[in-house]
Amino acid sequence: MVNRTRIRYVLLALVVVFLVPRGNLYGQGCIVARSSSSIGGPETEGGYLSPGEFDFSIGLRHQFSFRHFVGDVEQKQRIQLGNQVMNKINLLNFNLDYQISHRFSVQIAAPLLLASRRSNNSPYTTTAQGVGDVIVSAQGWVWDPRENSKGNVAFALGAMLPSGRDNVMNTVDKLDGKGPVNVLDDYSIQPGSGGYGMLFGWQAFKNFGSSAQAYFNGSYIATPQNTNGVVRSTTAKPLLRQVSISDQYLLEAGVAAPLRKVRGLSITAGPRWEGVPAKDLIGGNDGFRRPGYAVSLEAGFQYAHGRQLFTGTVGKAILRDRTRSYPDRAYGAHGDAAFADYLWLASYSVRFGGRQHGAHHDMQDPGAKSGLSNGSVHAAN
């Protein structure tokens, strides 16, 4: 029987975390959060990684954003008038984890972005492809994994490096009789943010009942720099001429329950909250950004086979909010942003190295791979 006191503690922790004030967030769609899935507890059915073991994963994120919001109110007239902006985001995240000891590991995550942006009444489409901002981090479990196979908490610290381009341009023909011209891609489809960031992340899991698992993961990337120096418009108001380097965050919780008739297969369900805050945790807030957030309900599966893990998740947006940026408040305005209806996530991971038969096999868990990787996150207009 599930301990009700423990459940109350978990719910209280969720409430506290969700109510803590946050800084800037890279959002969904025009506010496109570019983080991948982070499901579950220790990696795969094998449990924790053992010292000397690697875990390599590839994660895919896809979304199509076209519904415009000002605050949490949908601007339905945009679709009716045929002038909605449409963003297509395909993001691949390549992650490599190395377990140094039973408690501590290091990770590197490199995103690859393939994106396009088009206004429905525009004669041209802009596109961008390229490596995003790489994240290097270290993670440690609070309690010794050898003594805590049924639940644990880990914290991660890392750095986001400005390895992605933030000034991609396209040559397009606006069909205005002036011929092809160069245009700067909107920052929502730029591969990089143009600045450094500090990653704070965590993952927590708790097994209950005979084989089910609850999980709660999250990450926050703080960007102390103000703007990235990219001039988006020379005629815009001073605070809006350059592109802001914005914070981003992700919160994800849920339950994984095994299907007993198929060994290694579990179903997952829970909420996801991601976005870009209007004010950064550290540094200034000048520059153009589209802050906001999206809350989704996710359902999916995870299938573990040997040292491999496959996951798939679909998230349905239940709340979308384009909040007011610092320039919005300074100029008495409130811009809009496009959001997606659905978020599609998939991943494949494989463990290798280390000991094929060792302590980690004595700590079986139904949980799956956990990841704290994030690519750059931006908002679209």
Predicted confidence (pLDDT) per residue in 280-307, tens digit? 999 999 999 999 999 999 999 999 999 9
pLDDT digits (tens, 9 = 90+) for 247-263: 999 999 999 999 988 99
Pairwise pLDDT comparison (24 vs 285), residue with the higher score: 285
pLDDT reported for residue 43: 53
3-class secondary structure, 323:
coil
Q: What is the DSSP letter of 121?
A: T
Helices and strands: H and E segment counts in the chain: 3, 19
Examine the pLDDT at 372 and tell me if it is beyond 80.
no
Identify each DSSP E strand in the chain by its residue range.
Answer: 53-70, 73-74, 85-99, 104-119, 126-131, 134-141, 151-161, 169-173, 180-184, 197-208, 212-222, 227-231, 242-244, 248-258, 265-276, 292-305, 308-321, 337-340, 342-353
Task: Break the chain into its structural domains and give their ranges.
Answer: 4-362
pTM of the model: 0.85
Query: Dihedral sign, CA of 106, 115, 245, 24?
Result: negative
CATH code given to domain 4-362: 2.40.128.130
